[in-house]
Amino acid sequence: MPFELGRPVGIPNDPVFQKRVLSAALKLLEAEAGPILEDFPEEAPVSSGEIITLACPVDFGPRKENLTEIEQLCSDFRHEMVSLRSWYDLTVQKRGRTTVGVSRVGLDGLGDFICSFLKGDVPENPRQDIDLAYTLNLATDDLKAYYFEAVASQPGGESASSDALNDWFYEETVAGKVLYALRDLSKKSSQGLMKVLGNVLIIPAAQIHKRKARAAQQK
């Protein structure tokens, strides 16, 4: 059975199996010649599956007056991110590390940075080494990492499969709605890099196909 995408040494909290994988990988360095392509002799453990609890238990309240659809979406988005902060902090405390930060946007400004594109604004690029569109792509990666690390401290979150996590993130959170809106907007952009971002990078192709399949079944 193949290893899940994003889990090259197996599922979380299984140090015995992970050590065997790493030992086997390091053993390949002893080969006298390469290239080397070997299968790991054991099947990868399977995650338990679904997330047990709702990861965003926040009541956004009634819709505020005089807000556009995008403004309301972004307002709900910011509230959702705040509601997850204590869970994220708990995960960082337990692990002693985080994968959030590659965009250099900063966690406190991440929601506003992403939403500025939906509102038609052009935010300042915190990374001068890459184009703004690439920074936006990294910001969406930071967002996903933030949500995944937050849900890891909730019951069932640590052992949830990658499919369950992706389904939860893209289909059940406000953040997922924001990224779908960003994808639709980017696909219409006249800028080549933004168009690529919308067509290929913001939402995984597998997730798009699953959404289409579900929509087809409901007809």
Percent with pLDDT over 90 in the chain = 51
* 61: in domain: no
* 51: in domain: no
Q: In this structure, which long-range contacts are made by residues 193-198, counting pairs with CB atoms below 8 Å and at least 24 apart in sequence?
A: 193/131, 193/133, 193/134, 194/133, 194/136, 196/133, 197/133, 197/136, 197/137
On the question of a cis peptide bond just before residue 35, with omega within 30 degrees of 0, the verdict is: yes
Q: pLDDT digit string (tens) for 59-89?
A: 555 556 688 999 999 999 999 999 999 999 9
Could you tell me the pTM of the whole model?
0.75
Residue 160 β-bridge partners: 49
Q: What pLDDT sits at residue 55?
A: 46
* 63: in domain: no
Q: What pLDDT sits at residue 17?
A: 73
Q: Does 83 share its domain with 156?
A: yes
Q: What pLDDT sits at residue 41?
A: 77
Q: pLDDT digit string (tens) for 163-189?
A: 888 899 999 999 999 999 999 999 999
The span from the CA of 178 to the CA of 204, in Å, is 14
* 64: in domain: no
| Residue where a domain terminates, one of 31, 46, 61 | 46
The SS3 of residue 130 is: coil
Domain span including residue 152: 69-218
Q: What pLDDT sits at residue 52?
A: 45
Q: Does 101 share its domain with 186?
A: yes
Per-residue confidence of the chain (219 residues) as pLDDT tens digits? 466 655 677 666 677 777 887 887 787 777 777 777 777 777 776 665 555 444 454 555 555 668 899 999 999 999 999 999 999 999 999 999 999 999 999 999 999 999 999 999 999 999 999 999 999 999 999 999 999 999 988 766 566 778 888 899 999 999 999 999 999 999 999 888 899 989 889 999 999 999 988 888 887
